[in-house]
Amino acid sequence: MTAAQSGATGDKGRVLSGKVVVVGAGITGLSAAWELAKAGCTAITVVETSDATGGKVATGTLGGAWFNEGPDAFVARGGVVRSLCSELGLDEKLISPGTSQAWCFTRGKLRPYPANTLLGVPTRVGKLMAADLLSPLGRLRALADLVLPGSTLDNDEALASLLRRRLGREASEAMVEPLVAGINAARATHASVQATAAPIAAAARRSRSLILGAKAVVKQTRASNGPVFLGLDGGMATLTTTLETALEEAGVCILRSWEAIGIDRSKQGWRLVGKDRDIDADAVLLACPAKAAARILSTLAPAMSELLATIDYASVASIGLSYPASAVPSLPPGSGFLVPATEGTTISACTFVGQKWPQLGRKDRVLLRAFVGRAGESRALDSTDAELIEKVHADLARILGLQGPPDDAVVTRWPVGLPQYQVGHLSLAGTVHKELRSLGALDMAGAALDGVGIAACIESARRCSEHVAARLAAMAQSG
């Protein structure tokens, strides 16, 4: 299937013969190449430093079943991932989580996570008052948000400072921070509320009370029907491997084990400098992590390179453990649990894989997926794989009452895992896009600047490839 045959919209009939190179074959780079092909670009090359495509989208096996080592779901609302899946013929592979109930391990036991929150911010007073997750004093302090004098979010600020000011420290640490950390591995004391938790920023702008603002945002979002999250049968890598095949069938050249280390101007436009050889191109789209982009841009755009180098990444690891069913007493109903940083455990979260994804539920074994590592807290990751498995098992045995060791395990380390958006990140990202675009047919897309989720990466890829295609079209017109 070619991009045009996919039937997706695009400037069909337009041919842009200029050569485009995309740096990085994660979901951003692959979907950008797809968008460029749909826009009529006929000479697209994707260069990828590793020997495989997909970046953080990775599916392996555990206990004889497929197992997501990176993302396991995507935000379905907004439709951008769904429409890509449709173009790739993957509609039949979409799967919904079996449950949305989650738990939180605090004050020595698992406690149900209240439903109907906005990224952990309570939206219903009744549910908040009944939330065993917080101590009675913590609940009353959170309720004070309804009457505390005004503090709308004018600009950006640290997530923790907003949450603690409105809801108090306990609600911030036990309810919101673990959820946000579960998505971005973020440290709330440093994370930009605008870039890391946009819905909370929207709630803060909407009302003096964060609870009432969150209620209004939830009400508005509910108007768009359909599941919040979806996954893919066979694992999330089904998306990237299908995309890779479709791109190659459409004539896109994917160069694996090809590391970009610099970019210069050339007669044609750009010379992408590789470790072993260079490629001349009319347009370049960077879709790699910030540090790699900083290195590539160090001579051409030193100020942008310095800005990009300030974006830190949290190192994280996903540890999959497979237990014989006899070692696991019945798990609480739900998709898993989060652990606030204050609990001092090795793990930050755990997914009950077979309950979240019923396709993976088996009578004879139980698959658990734990996460280790948060921004500024990567000491546990200095352990060897065997030590890490032991520490994670010890946490899980204590929390879930496991009665025996796992008989299969998979440790996946993501040393440059999740970008940390500090206060002011949106303005940094805006500056980088603007400055790179001012240099010509050049841009940068993906998680480093525009949001960590798969949906955000694909949206970013779409926007940046539109810019690149428009520049190529203008260049073709001007001869």
Ligand X SMILES: Cc1cc2nc3c(=O)[nH]c(=O)nc-3n(C[C@H](O)[C@H](O)[C@H](O)COP(=O)(O)OP(=O)(O)OC[C@H]3O[C@@H](n4cnc5c(N)ncnc54)[C@H](O)[C@@H]3O)c2cc1C
Binding site for ligand X (CB under 6 A): 23-29, 47-50, 55-57, 70-74, 259-260, 287-289, 292, 316, 318, 414, 417-418, 446-447, 452-454, 457
Q: Between 47 and 321, name the residue whose CB sits nearer to ligand X.
A: 47
**Does residue 472 contact residue 438 with C-beta atoms inside 8 Å?**
no
Question: In angstroms, what CA-CA distances link 294 with 126, 288, 409, 423, 466?
Answer: 49, 10, 35, 20, 23
Rg for the chain, CA atoms, rounded: 23
Q: Between 200 and 260, name the residue whose CB sits nearer to ligand X.
A: 260
Nearest distance in Å: CB 348, ligand X = 11
Nearest distance in Å: CB 29, ligand X = 6
Nearest distance in Å: CB 257, ligand X = 9
Nearest distance in Å: CB 360, ligand X = 15
Residue with tokens 């430093």: 49
The residue count for the chain:
479
- Indicate the SS3 state at residue 236: coil
- Indicate the SS3 state at residue 321: strand
- 198-206 vs 159-167: helix crossing angle, rounded to 10: 50
Residue with tokens 């940390």: 420
Nearest distance in Å: CB 129, ligand X = 31
Q: Diameter of the chain by CA atoms?
A: 72
Q: Pairing state of beta strands 229-232 and 94-95?
A: antiparallel
Q: Between 168 and 373, name the residue whose CB sits nearer to ligand X.
A: 373
Q: Between 47 and 211, name the residue whose CB sits nearer to ligand X.
A: 47
Nearest distance in Å: CB 209, ligand X = 30
Q: Between 40 and 70, name the residue whose CB sits nearer to ligand X.
A: 70
453: left (phi over 0), alpha (psi -120 to 50) or beta: beta
Sign of torsion over alpha carbons 199, 201, 207, 208: positive
Nearest distance in Å: CB 80, ligand X = 11
Q: Between 354 and 417, name the residue whose CB sits nearer to ligand X.
A: 417
Q: Between 316 and 429, name the residue whose CB sits nearer to ligand X.
A: 316
**Does residue 269 contact residue 441 with C-beta atoms inside 8 Å?**
yes
